[in-house]
Amino acid sequence: MTSANEFILSDLPDGFRGIVARVTGGRDLAARLAAMGLTAGTQIVVLQNRGFGPMLACVRDTRIALGRSQAGLVTVYECPTAAN
């Protein structure tokens, strides 16, 4: 699904809640992230993104550290019911 509300994970600020749209950049990265809980359709929360260095995100109760370039391969769309 493509929409105007899609963002690159590495551009998102602390506290942003969204849904993972897809992981690009090859099967290996997608498989590794999937085994750690990061798959398309999962809710994701940005825990820490300082605009440089690695970032922290939370999926399925798991805090994952992602290098800046890996975070650049994850697309996220805005969660319409992101009340809490």
Partner 1 sequence: MPRPLVIGLAGQPNVGKSTVFSILTGLTAEVGNWPGRTIERREGSARIGGREFHVVDLPGTYSLTSNSEEERIAREFILRERPDVIIMLADAAALERNLYLLAELLLLPIPVVLGVNMVDVARREGVEFDAHVLEAALGLPVVPMVASRNEGVAELLQAAAAVADGQRDYAPDRPEIAAAHREVYEEVCTLVAGAVPEGVPDSWVALKLLEGDREVTERAAEWLAPEPRARVQALLREHEDAVLDVAGARYEWIGRMVRAAVRRPKLGQVSFTDRFDRIATHPGWGLALLLGVFALVFWVTFSVAGPVQGWLEEGVVARVATGLGALLGGAPAWVQGLVIDGLLAGAGIVVTFVPILFVFYLALGFLEDTGYQSRMAYVMDRFMHGIGLHGKSFLPLFLGFGCNVPAVMGSRVIESRPARLLTIMLAPFVPCSARLLVLAFLVPLFFPAFPTLVAWSLVVANLLVLVLIGVLLDRFVFRRERLAFVMEMPLYHLPNPRTILVYAATNVWTFIKRAATIIVVVSMVIWVLVSYPGAGVDDSYLAMFGRSLEPVGSLLGLDWRLIVATLSSFVAKENSIAALGIIFGSEGESLGQTLAMVITPAAALSFLVVNMLFVPCVATVAAIRAETRSWGWTLASAGLMLASALLFGLLVYRLALLFGLGGAGA
CA distances from 74 to 5, 27, 83, 84 (A): 14, 13, 23, 22
Among residues 7, 29, 75, 77, the one that binds partner 1 under rule CB under 8 A: 29
Q: Which is nearer to partner 1, 4 or 84 (CB)?
A: 84
- Strand 62-66 relative to strand 6-8: parallel, antiparallel, unpaired? unpaired
Q: Which is nearer to partner 1, 4 or 28 (CB)?
A: 28
Which residues here bind partner 1, judged by CB under 8 A?
A: 27-37, 39-42, 47-48, 50, 52-54, 56, 59-67, 69-70, 84
